[in-house]
């Protein structure tokens, strides 16, 4: 069972429904980068997620060399914002200066003249959205990047930036990247509904809880809630004859069908296990129990607005007789 494809946001770009995380590629103890990419491509994969800081640039260099013979087949994504020169105050952050310099460095390391998806890696709380969105629009106009995305940033900033871009006729974000797993579902409060509202693709990192869900026996749970989640996951994995990582991946796919997981794979055997997990469809009772044990409180204003008393105050006698759109659903 190979990969299927999704459109990136509202664009016509087709990306595989699993994104290969570049942080694990070519690392000591793993398979050669070329071997992993060859196996990924054979399964239909074409989407690779990188960043300037992964391996201090080595991940980009290795991927660039591996895809050089068929660059057009691949959707290469990389990021800027993290500093490669700690002593230089302008080498990190979201500014236009850092953006341009980082992009040029990534292009050289990758050995290509364009990036398919260029991510802002993490919000710096200093650069104005006007500067960022105008600079990204300039880069798409130049052809050096084809699409823009934003990672690890509050939902209100992303929504404001995209609204500004649409009003100004600039290139908006096509995708958002966020952390999401059984151990952390807080993105369900605002980030995921915001992305769905704006038609943004969602890529999720940490879907295996930074390894805690892949190998629970060798990891100590961070707290009692995490311990309960991991124990429930282990019980289902044993009953289904699958690994905890496979069940955790299947849960993400069933819980958020539109989310594209970013999976770090350093060995071809790990890719084989991932493909095997795609055949796993969790039963409703599995989903119900995993959902229950991993649930997060909606928080204000969501829990407040879900009260019947508030609904009646807003809608009067029509409360309970109105069909709300799916976007109203909350965790």
Residue 122's nearest CA partner among 90, 171, 157 is: 157
Count CB neighbours of 285 within 10 A: 9
Distance CA 16, CA 5 (A): 4
> What's the angle, vertex CA 58, arms to CA 55 and CA 60, rounded to 5?
110
Cα(first)–Cα(last) distance of the chain, in Å?
31
**What is the rounded distance in angstroms from the CA atom of residue 154 to the CA atom of residue 140?**
24
Q: Which of 5, 54, 80, 114 is catalytic?
A: 54
Concatenated DSSP letters for 69-121?
GGGGG-EEEEEE-S-S-TT-TTSSSS-HHHHHHHHHHHHHHHT-S-EEEEEE-
Using CA atoms in the order 158, 163, 164, 167, what is the torsion angle rounded to 10 degrees? 160
Cα–Cα distance measured from residue 192 to residue 180, given in angstroms and rounded to the nearest whole number: 10
- Hey, which bits of the chain come out as E strands? 5-7, 14-16, 19-21, 47-49, 75-80, 115-120, 145-151, 173-179, 201-205, 259-264
Q: Catalytic annotation on 54?
A: yes
Q: Residues 273, 245: contact at Cβ < 8 Å?
A: yes
Residues taking part in catalysis: 54
């Amino acid at each position: 069972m190979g990969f299927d494809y999704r459109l990136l946001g509202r664009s016509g770009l087709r990306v595989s429904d699993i994104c290969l995380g570049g942080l694990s590629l070519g690392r000591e103890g793993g398979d050669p980068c070329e071997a992993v990419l060859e196996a990924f491509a054979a399964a239909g994969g074409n989407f690779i997620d990188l960043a300037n800081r992964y391996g201090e640039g080595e991940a980009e260099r290795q991927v660039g060399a591996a895809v050089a013979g068929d660059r057009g087949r691949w959707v290469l994504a990389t990021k800027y914002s993290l500093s490669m020169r700690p002593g230089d105050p302008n080498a990190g952050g979201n500014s236009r200066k850092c953006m341009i310099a980082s992009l040029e460095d990534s292009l050289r390391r990758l050995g290509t003249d364009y990036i398919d998806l260029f991510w802002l890696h993490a919000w710096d709380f200093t650069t104005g959205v006007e500067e960022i969105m105008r600079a990204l629009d300039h880069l798409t106009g130049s052809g050096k990047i084809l699409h823009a995305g934003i990672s690890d940033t509050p939902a209100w900033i992303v929504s404001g930036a995209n609204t500004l871009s649409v009003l100004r006729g600039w290139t908006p974000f096509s995708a958002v990247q966020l952390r999401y797993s059984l151990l952390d579902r807080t993105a369900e409060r605002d980030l995921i509904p915001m992305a769905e509202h704006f038609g943004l693709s969602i890529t999720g990192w940490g879907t295996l809880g930074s390894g805690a869900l892949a190998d629970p026996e060798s990891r100590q749970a961070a707290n009692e809630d995490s311990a309960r989640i991991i124990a429930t996951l282990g019980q289902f994995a044993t009953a289904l004859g699958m690994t905890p990582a496979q069940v955790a991946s299947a849960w993400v796919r069933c819980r958020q069908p539109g989310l594209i997981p970013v999976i770090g794979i350093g060995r071809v055997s790990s890719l084989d296990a991932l493909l095997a997990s795609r055949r796993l469809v969790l039963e409703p009772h599995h989903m119900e129990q995993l959902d229950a044990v991993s649930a997060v409180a909606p928080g204000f204003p969501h829990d407040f607005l879900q009260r019947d008393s508030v609904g009646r105050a807003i809608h009067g006698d029509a409360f309970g007789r109105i069909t709300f759109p799916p976007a109203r659903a909350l965790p």
